[in-house]
Amino acid sequence: MEHEVIARCRSVAECTEEPGFTTRTFLSPPMHEVHQRLRAWMEQAGMSVRIDSAGNLRAAYSAAQPGAPPLFLGSHLDTVPHAGAFDGILGVVLAVALVEKLAGRRLKFSIEVVGFSEEEGVRFGVPFIGSRAFIGEEVADARVSDAIRAFGLDPTSIADARAAGNALGYLEFHIEQGPILESLDLPLGIAESIAGQSRLAVTFQGRQNHAGTTPMSLRRDALAAAAQWICAVEREAGATAGLVATVGRLEVEPGATNVIPGAARATLDVRHADDAVRCLAVERFLRSARQLAQWRGLSVSSEPLLDQPAVAMDAAFVAALEQAVTGSHYPLHRMTSGAGHDAMVVARRMPAALLFLRSPGGISHHPDENVLPEDVAAALTVGMHFLEQMEARLG
């Protein structure tokens, strides 16, 4: 069945706004075809399918008794530009395969597979439209409402996207999108939390000058200062367990071969599972920027762009997932998710858990993104164990 899961993901990757690539933003035209293909597999597994007014695809597999609480399984259907075939969609296809493996057997809870309409934030720069509507948050501003209407849905009915109040919780399968599991030679990892994140703009202001006539000792080179700071950030981040810090953008002014840079504008992205560690690290990075700027006779300024606390996954759900992993005889590995996922949003409303599948080469958001059949098989086995645990718990 793992090969079928992979084949289905690759089939959905054909639905794209841009021929030759996989690019599928919030409720863009190819999303109709995504819904159609998934609907066929869902109905074949005995589920009843609807599309809610936030554009989420919802497939219900009823319980043995009416009125039983639902367990939600899912992930997102949208992609980044020039995406791979597994980010998001794998979690939906895998959930459908789990229901298929039940082969008609009914449980003490219903299962609802959710394909969220939007997670990546590409179309409007605002992520998690699908999962935020699912937990009842306000998402339908004018542009989102227009997009919903253009897709043939009614934004005024968006309350129909809300999850039932008596839900057991939410389980998401997702590729890791990083190299950790591969480096540890592990198929699966349990995210026990999603890292908090700080983003800042940091600008060094020096003195633009002639590269030929200004001796090294009389320079106030903004790029040299930024470079020294980037080295300090890398060194300090590497010395703190679990901390990642990235300077992803650096713009140099005026940016001419023969002119000493007068200004260097950097961005800094800092993440850690523990908010206190993260905030202390940001303070340390800014202090080292100020110190080296002062030492060099430059000025430095910073502006916070984002300060997002860490989100813990539900302890009981994580424990159940651990039992499912060990019960399936796979090695146990708890980790922090460095990226945001729908589970992070859904966790505000109900118990949530997140199971990572190894990403070969750590590659994601790229056409070479991949997943191994044996890891999909592992996830299916663990998923079935998880359903059995829930069944036993409701005993």
Residues that bind its own copies (CB under 8 A): 176-180, 183, 195, 197, 199, 209-218, 221, 223-224, 226-228, 230-231, 234, 237-238, 243-250, 252, 255-261, 267, 269, 271, 305, 337-340, 362, 364-365
Q: Rounded to whole angstroms, how far apart are CA atoms 253 and 36? A: 50
Cα dist. 298→132, 248, 289, 328 in Å?
Answer: 44, 22, 10, 59
- Minimum CB separation of residue 254 from its own copies in Å reads 8
Q: Give the start-end residues of each E strand in 178-229.
A: 188-194, 196-205, 209-210
Place of tokens 């890398």: 234
Report the nearest approach of its own copies to the CB of residue 214 (Å).
5
> Closer CB to its own copies, residue 28 or residue 359?
359
Least distance in angstroms from the C-beta of 339 to its own copies: 4
Instruction: Indicate the residue among 111 and 224 with the shorter CB distance to its own copies.
Output: 224
- Distance, in Å, from the CA atom of 385 to the CA atom of 11, rounded to the nearest integer, reads 28
Residue 193 or 381 having the CB closest to its own copies: 193
DSSP letters of 230-249? HHHHHHHHHTSTT-EEE---
Minimum CB separation of residue 8 from its own copies in Å reads: 24
Rounded to whole angstroms, the Cα distance separating 236 from 232 reads 6
Least Å from the CB of residue 148 to its own copies: 27
Which two structure tokens, joined as six digits, stand for 32?
């109709």
As measured in angstroms, the least distance from the Cβ of 213 to its own copies is 3
Q: Using CB atoms within 10 Å of the CB of residue 362, give its burial: 0 to 12 exposed, 13 to 18 middle, 19+ buried.
A: middle
Which of 309, 312, 289, 313 is CA-nearest to residue 198? Answer: 309
Phi, psi angle pair for 354, to nearest 5° = -140, 125
In the complex, the smallest distance separating the C-beta of residue 264 from its own copies, rounded to whole angstroms, is 8
> Measured from the CB atom, is 363 or 384 closer to its own copies?
363
**Residue 72 or 229 having the CB closest to its own copies:** 229
Q: Which is nearer to its own copies, 110 or 364 (CB)?
A: 364
Tokens of 358: 């190894």
* Closer residue to its own copies, CB minimum distance, 103 or 216: 216
Q: Enter the DSSP assignment of 124.
A: T
Which CB atom, from 51 or from 245, has the smaller least distance to its own copies? Answer: 245
Q: Which is nearer to its own copies, 20 or 258 (CB)?
A: 258
Which residues sit opposite 74 in a β-bridge?
114
Residues 97, 380 contacting (CB under 8 angstroms): yes
63 Cβ contact list (under 8 Å, min separation 6): 106, 107, 108, 109, 110
CB of 33 to its own copies, least distance (A): 28
Residue 184 burial (CB count, 10 A)? 12
Shortest CB 96 distance to its own copies, Å: 26
Nearer to its own copies, 58 or 199 (CB): 199
* CA distance readout (Å), 242 to 99, 192, 273, 337, 342: 36, 13, 7, 10, 22
Q: How far is the CB of 294 from its own copies (least distance, A)?
A: 17
Q: Are 265 and 203 in contact (CB under 8 A)?
A: yes
What's the CA gap between 216 and 99, in Å, rounded? 68
